[in-house]
């Protein structure tokens, strides 16, 4: 068994384990985050309107509590989704790689970079949707500032993903061109 085949087999097995371990954790933490958001925004914030603790509106305090809780859960979700994304990249590299089952570390890195970037943009967009209502309650400008930061990060992240995919597409195109050239030479020899 070649080094690329051994690396591919090891990558596939590690990816399978990571998916089995991280998948349930992601679902659980996402479910809890959604429940916190639902109860916080649809039950407790409306109940607290008009109430004050000294100079602070209780709605702002509850919004901060909801944001902090979702933030902690979001960090856990992001860590687990990154593990899932890396595992999915390992599966993709194994199944779509240059030669089925043969994976190089460069290919795996490119697939990980591309998939992590795309998945993280989706996750951060969803998190912003969860956070935006509470950010607006704390201060209306906060949501705008965070959105601008998210968009700038998204552009850089997707640019990195595109660059990684371009490297794999270029590698595949180069290999295809070599195979076509070899076939063409073989066909010329056969016709002589």
C-alpha span between 156 and 168 (Å, rounded): 19
State mean pLDDT over 155-166: 93
**98 pLDDT exceeds 60?**
no
State mean pLDDT over 168-172: 82
Structure confidence at residue 2 (pLDDT)? 67
C-alpha span between 170 and 25 (Å, rounded): 36
State mean pLDDT over 74-84: 90
Structure confidence at residue 131 (pLDDT)? 87
Structure confidence at residue 100 (pLDDT)? 60
Burial, 152: exposed, middle or buried (Cβ in 10 Å; 0-12, 13-18, 19+)?
exposed
State mean pLDDT over 182-188: 78
Locate the domains of the chain by residue range. 3-191
Q: Which two tokens stand for residue 67?
A: 């944001």
- CA-closest candidate to residue 165, choices 107, 124, 121, 122: 107
State mean pLDDT over 88-112: 76
Q: 16-44, pLDDT tens digit by residue?
A: 888 888 888 889 998 999 999 999 999 99
- The residue with greater pLDDT, 174 or 59, is 59
State mean pLDDT over 173-187: 80
Structure confidence at residue 94 (pLDDT)? 77
Q: 119-156, pLDDT tens digit by residue?
A: 999 999 988 988 888 888 888 899 999 999 999 999 99
Q: What is the 3-state secondary structure (H, E, C) of 29-75?
A: HHHHHHHHHHHHHHHHHHHHCCCEECCEEHHHHHHHHHHHHHHHHHH
Other CB atoms within a 10 A radius of the CB of residue 83 amount to 18
Report the percentage of the chain scoring pLDDT > 70: 94
Structure confidence at residue 101 (pLDDT)? 58
Residue 163 — pLDDT band, cuts 50, 70, 90?
Answer: very high
Q: Which residues pair with 52 in a beta bridge?
A: 57
State mean pLDDT over 60-74: 92
Q: Which two tokens stand for residue 111?
A: 């697939």
């Amino acid at each position: 068994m070649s080094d690329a085949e051994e690396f591919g087999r090891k990558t596939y097995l590690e990816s399978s384990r990571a998916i089995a371990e991280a998948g349930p954790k992601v679902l659980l933490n996402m479910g809890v985050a959604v429940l916190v958001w639902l109860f916080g925004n649809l039950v407790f914030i409306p109940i607290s309107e008009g109430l004050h603790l000294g100079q602070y509106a209780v709605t702002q305090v509850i919004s901060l509590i909801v944001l902090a809780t979702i933030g902690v859960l979001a960090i856990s979700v992001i860590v687990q989704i990154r593990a899932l994304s890396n595992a999915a990249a390992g599966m993709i590299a194994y199944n779509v790689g240059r030669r089925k089952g043969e994976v190089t570390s460069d290919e795996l890195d490119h697939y990980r970079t591309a998939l992590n970037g795309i998945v993280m943009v989706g996750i951060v967009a969803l998190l912003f949707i969860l956070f935006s209502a509470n950010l607006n309650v704390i201060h209306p400008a906060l949501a705008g500032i965070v959105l601008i930061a998210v968009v700038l990060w998204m552009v850089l992240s997707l640019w990195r993903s595109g660059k990684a995919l371009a490297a794999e597409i270029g590698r595949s195109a180069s290999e295809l061109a070599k195979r076509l050239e070899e076939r063409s030479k073989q066909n010329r020899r056969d016709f002589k």
